């Protein structure tokens, strides 16, 4: 294997610095003892983390996001797994259209989806309801589960299923005991990826959430347009920590490099 020269490594160092700088700065500023956004030069303090936990609106938004991401990712998985099995192993008229339709939220701007759902929800009189916000999230995260489950379902060996079937296993037993265990890494990875994407989503949510159902990213967005203080850095640091924890989990169950660059 040919090695990178010093020039290439210097370039690489700058790119890594560029990608890491804003995240590292956020985490450092979160520990400042000062009243202003500054690096903690006089020692570390947890006062801004305490300030976060005294804000009822942020706590509420955090719980909203957590419940939202959990339920939306679960429902998306329940919908995407049968769809992925249908697309990967049955041939029927409209199959290509189905798979394009179910993957399309990835290429449709969230802004467009947000205003479209706002119109629908306003006509139905349900805008700001948690259930409909959750269903909107299911639409935008289903493609992530579908992609991972499709990749898993296409790669499996069908002979075990055929053997079970010829031995008289019912359809549900077959799915539970044979198919599901084989596609489980894809299902679990898809659920986690959907969870992260729902938890982070801001553009669509800003249109279809109400003050009572406001998610954490929307609360942060609104807060950051009004005022900027170190509390925002503390919230951000907490979000980074939570995302990192989910990513470690994702790496364990599915492999982070496989999720990110599709390596097998």
Partner 1 sequence: MSRGYLLSLPALLLFSGLLILPLGLTLVLSFNVFDYQVGVKAGEWTLAHYLALFSDAYFYEIFWRTFWISALVTLLCVVIGVPEAYILSRMGTPWRSIFLILILTPLLISVVVRAFGWSLLLGADGLINQLIQVLGGRPVKLLYTPFAVIIALVHVMLPFMIIPVWTSLQKLDPSAEQAALSLGASQATVMRKIVLPQVMPGVLSGTLIVFGLAASSFAIPGLLGGRRLKMVATVVYDQYLSELNWPMGATIAVVLLLVNLLIMLSWNRLLESRYKKSLGV
Residue 56 Cβ vs partner 1, minimum distance, rounded to whole Å: 20
Smaller CB separation from partner 1, 119 or 176: 119
If one asks whether residue 110 binds partner 1 (CB under 8 A), the answer comes out as yes
91 near partner 1 (CB under 8 A): yes
The vertex-109 CA angle with 23 and 223, nearest 5°, equals: 45
Binding span for partner 1 by CB under 8 A among 44-52, 66-74, 115-123, 160-168? 115-123
Rule CB under 8 A: which of 222-241 touch partner 1?
Answer: 224-225, 228, 232-233, 236, 239-240
Residue 75 CB neighbour total at 10 angstroms: 18
Shortest distance, position 237 Cβ to partner 1, whole Å: 9
| Binding-site member from 200, 249, 253, 258 for partner 1 (CB under 8 A) | 200
Q: Does 245 bind partner 1 (CB under 8 A)?
A: no
* 234 within 8 A of 49, measured Cβ to Cβ: yes
Q: Is 172 in the site for partner 1 (CB under 8 A)?
A: no
Q: How far is the CB of 81 from partner 1 (least distance, A)?
A: 9
User: Using CB under 8 A, which of 72, 73, 139, 187 touches partner 1?
Assistant: 139
């Amino acid at each position: 294997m040919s090695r990178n020269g010093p020039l290439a490594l210097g370039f690489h160092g700058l790119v890594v610095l560029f990608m890491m700088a804003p995240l590292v700065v956020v985490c450092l500023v979160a520990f400042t003892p000062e009243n202003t956004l500054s690096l903690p030069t006089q020692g570390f303090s947890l006062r801004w983390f305490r300030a976060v936990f005294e804000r009822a609106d942020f706590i509420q938004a955090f719980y909203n996001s957590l419940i939202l991401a959990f339920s939306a990712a679960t429902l998306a998985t329940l919908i995407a797994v049968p769809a992925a099995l249908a697309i990967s192993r049955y041939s029927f008229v409209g199959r290509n259209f189905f798979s394009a339709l179910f993957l399309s939220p990835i290429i449709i701007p969230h802004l467009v989806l947000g205003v479209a759902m706002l119109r629908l929800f306003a006509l139905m009189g349900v805008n700001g309801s948690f259930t409909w916000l959750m269903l909107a999230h299911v639409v935008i995260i289903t493609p992530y589960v579908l992609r991972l489950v499709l990749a898993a379902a296409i790669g499996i060996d069908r002979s075990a299923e055929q053997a079970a079937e010829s031995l008289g296993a019912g359809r549900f037993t077959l799915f539970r005991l044979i198919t599901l265990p084989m596609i489980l890494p894809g299902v679990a990875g898809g659920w986690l990826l959907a969870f992260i994407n729902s938890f982070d989503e801001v553009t669509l949510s800003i249109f279809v959430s109400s003050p009572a159902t406001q998610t954490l990213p929307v609360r942060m967005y609104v807060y950051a347009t009004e005022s900027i203080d170190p509390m925002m850095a503390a919230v951000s640091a907490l979000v980074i920590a939570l995302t990192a924890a989910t990513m470690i989990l994702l790496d364990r169950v599915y492999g982070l490099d496989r999720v990110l660059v599709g390596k097998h």
